[in-house]
Amino acid sequence: MVEGRWAVSSSTLLTEEQKQLVFARLPNKITEEGVLLVKSQSERSQLGNKQQVIRKMNQLISAALVKRKVRRPTKPTAASKEKRLESKKKNTYTKENRKKIDRNEYR
């Protein structure tokens, strides 16, 4: 098993804003001292595990630094509204047919 450590808090590669993003988006991977911790034991060789740890760290950091798009809420389409209303009508009809028949109504 290979364990990779990188001190994010004392790193000069990242700006303060980037460090804050990394801390916010990777809280389970960063220790209280501000060290990013990544382990690997999937390969049979130590060298393979080291390469895997470096690859994982690079992926984690780059994914944490990607700016996320803001989701714009969309309005339901006309077809989806129609489908919903049709479904409600069908449900109403089904429940209406479950009622007991009033005998006085047919006399």
Does residue 61 lie within any of the structural domains? yes
The range of the structural domain enclosing residue 7 comes to: 2-65
Does residue 104 lie within any of the structural domains? no
Indicate the pTM of the whole model. 0.62
Number of domains in the chain: 1
Does residue 16 lie within any of the structural domains? yes
pLDDT at 27: 92
Does residue 35 lie within any of the structural domains? yes
Does residue 85 lie within any of the structural domains? no
Per-residue pLDDT 10s for the chain (107 aa) are 999 999 998 989 999 999 999 999 999 999 999 999 999 999 999 999 999 999 999 999 999 999 889 999 999 999 999 999 999 999 999 998 888 877 777 66
Give the domain CATH number at 10.
3.30.160.20
- 11, with CB counted inside 10 A (0-12, 13-18, 19+), is middle
Q: What token pair was written down for 98? A: 């479950």
Does residue 72 lie within any of the structural domains? no
CA distances from 10 to 31, 73, 83, 96, 105 (A): 13, 39, 57, 70, 84
pLDDT at 99: 83
pLDDT at 107: 63
pLDDT at 59: 95
